[in-house]
């Protein structure tokens, strides 16, 4: 088991953009998802781990290896598939991979040939080995990118924004290769595509504006929102009103209508299943008394907030993603770090005063909304 430990990592570019702010992450053998919108700071962190740029401050260790100082050693055990990966169109897959293997110092021709063919096999490119790379689809190029990243049997593989533009079948193949690799080495998948993380990663972090908002197992992330995400299918015209009334997490088209997910906290205050609205907001202020023997079923039966026809939905990672991205944007400068049930929340937690402020109406309907529009990428 290897561990990559990132502590208090900071990076500000010469144009003044603070791309990473006090980033702390612990990444163990397996598939790790680094999720965040464009501009979150993911590539800055990935490029620094890949020894392609300097940190301003902080430390990065792979087990005992000082990544920021022992760059030469890191390169020997690192595989990197960058966001922009270009191939020579007039080389065949075999020729280019063989050439890259020479550049990586594999001198023995026989061993090199075996290694190259084995990697082409592993990435499902063996039958295409004599085809020009210029004729490859996006998915094939990505798989070739993985093949070149694996030339030196890396202990750490970094894949930056890999599946944008891949068709479902190519994406599936690519995922299979990554998850197989994740059985033995650290694979960091940096992406803005939530599904890539939910399908593949046993551990994850969400970043935005250079900061880590949460680091946890995906199921822990979902647990945080259990019983707080409500859904409804509405007419397109209703979206504005819903936006005004509720804290919309996401909206997507659904059979010609709009399916909307909103965040709303309800709290069970006693065993008689009194559910109290704590999210603030006009007509939702009064506690509801629901005749139900257990809090759980009361919560499930409860139509509220959501007298307006919303029902509790099973939270998915997309809801969680938008929740963290959005909450962080709304918050005050007060921050705290808290470890609870294996989850590190960076920023506000439910217990912090800053969050209570939101919960008790700190974000009122009248306040200007932030620039987040609640729409998913779909």
Task: List contacts with ligand ADP (CB under 6 A).
Answer: 13, 15, 17, 19, 36, 38-44
Q: How far is the CB of 312 from ligand ADP (least distance, A)?
A: 32
Q: Between 40 and 260, whose beta carbon lies closer to ligand ADP? A: 40
Q: How far is the CB of 71 from ligand ADP (least distance, A)?
A: 18
Q: Between 115 and 194, whose beta carbon lies closer to ligand ADP? A: 194
Q: Between 149 and 325, whose beta carbon lies closer to ligand ADP? A: 325
Q: How far is the CB of 230 from ligand ADP (least distance, A)?
A: 30
Q: Between 12 and 124, whose beta carbon lies closer to ligand ADP? A: 12
Q: Between 262 and 325, whose beta carbon lies closer to ligand ADP? A: 325
Q: Between 17 and 334, whose beta carbon lies closer to ligand ADP? A: 17
Q: Between 41 and 154, whose beta carbon lies closer to ligand ADP? A: 41
Q: How far is the CB of 222 from ligand ADP (least distance, A)?
A: 23
3-class secondary structure per residue, the chain? CCEEEEEEEEEECCCCCEEEEEEEEEEECEEEEEECCCCCCHHHHHHHHCCCCCCCEEEEEECCEECCCCHHHHHHCEEEECCCCCCCCCCEHHHHHHHHHHHCCCCCHHHHHHHHHHHHHHCCCHHHCCCEHHHCCHHHHHHHHHHHHCCCCCCEEEEECCCCCCCHHHHHHHHHHHHHHCCCCEEEEEECCHHHHHHHCCEEEEEECCEEEEEECHHHHHHHCCCCEEEEEECHHHHHHHHHHCEEEEEEEECCEEEEEEECCEEECCCCCEEEECCCCHHHCCCEECCCCCHHHHHHHCCCCHHHCCEECCCCHHHHHHHHHHHHHHCCCCCCEEEECCEEEECCCCCCHHHHHHHHHHCCCCCCCCCCCCECCC
Q: How far is the CB of 42 from ligand ADP (least distance, A)?
A: 4
Q: How far is the CB of 160 from ligand ADP (least distance, A)?
A: 7
Give the residue closest to ligand ADP by C-beta.
Answer: 43
Q: How far is the CB of 83 from ligand ADP (least distance, A)?
A: 7
């Amino acid at each position: 088991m290897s561990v990559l430990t990132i502590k208090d990592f900071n990076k500000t570019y010469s144009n003044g953009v603070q791309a990473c702010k006090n980033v702390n992450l612990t990444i163990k053998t397996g598939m790790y998802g680094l999720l965040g919108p464009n501009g979150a700071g993911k590539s800055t962190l990935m490029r620094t781990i890949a020894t392609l740029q300097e940190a301003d401050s902080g430390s990065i260790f792979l087990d005992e290896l000082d990544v920021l100082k022992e760059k030469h050693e890191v390169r020997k055990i690192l595989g990197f598939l960058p966001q922009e990966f270009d191939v020579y169109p007039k080389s065949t897959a075999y020729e280019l991979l063989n050439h890259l293997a020479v550049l990586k110092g594999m001198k023995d021709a026989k061993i090199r040939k075996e290694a190259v063919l084995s990697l082409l096999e592993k990435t499902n490119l063996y039958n295409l080995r004599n085809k020009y790379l210029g004729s490859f689809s996006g998915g094939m190029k990505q798989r070739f990118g993985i093949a070149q990243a694996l030339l030196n049997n890396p202990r750490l593989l970094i894949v930056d924004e890999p599946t944008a533009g891949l068709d479902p079948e190519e994406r599936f193949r690519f995922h299979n290769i990554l998850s197989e690799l994740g059985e033995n080495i650290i694979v960091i998948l940096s992406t803005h595509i939530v599904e890539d993380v939910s399908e593949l990663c046993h551990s994850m972090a969400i970043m935005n504006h250079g900061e880590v908002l949460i680091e946890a197992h995906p199921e822990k992330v979902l647990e945080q929102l259990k019983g707080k995400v409500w859904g409804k299918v509405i007419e397109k015209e209703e979206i504005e009103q819903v936006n005004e009334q509720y804290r919309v997490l996401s909206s997507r088209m659904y059979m010609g209508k709009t399916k909307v997910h909103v965040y709303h906290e309800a709290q069970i205050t006693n065993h008689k299943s009194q559910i109290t609205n704590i999210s603030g907001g006009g007509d939702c202020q009064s506690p509801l008394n629901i005749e139900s023997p257990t809090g759980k079923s009361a919560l499930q039966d409860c139509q509220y907030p959501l007298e307006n026809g919303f029902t509790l939905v099973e939270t998915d990672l997309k809801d969680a993603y938008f929740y963290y991205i959005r909450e962080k944007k709304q918050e005050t400068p007060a921050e705290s770090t808290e470890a609870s049930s294996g989850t590190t929340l960076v920023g506000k937690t439910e217990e912090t005063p800053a969050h209570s402020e939101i919960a008790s109406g700190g974000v009122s309907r009248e306040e200007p909304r932030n620039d987040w529009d609640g729409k998913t990428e779909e």
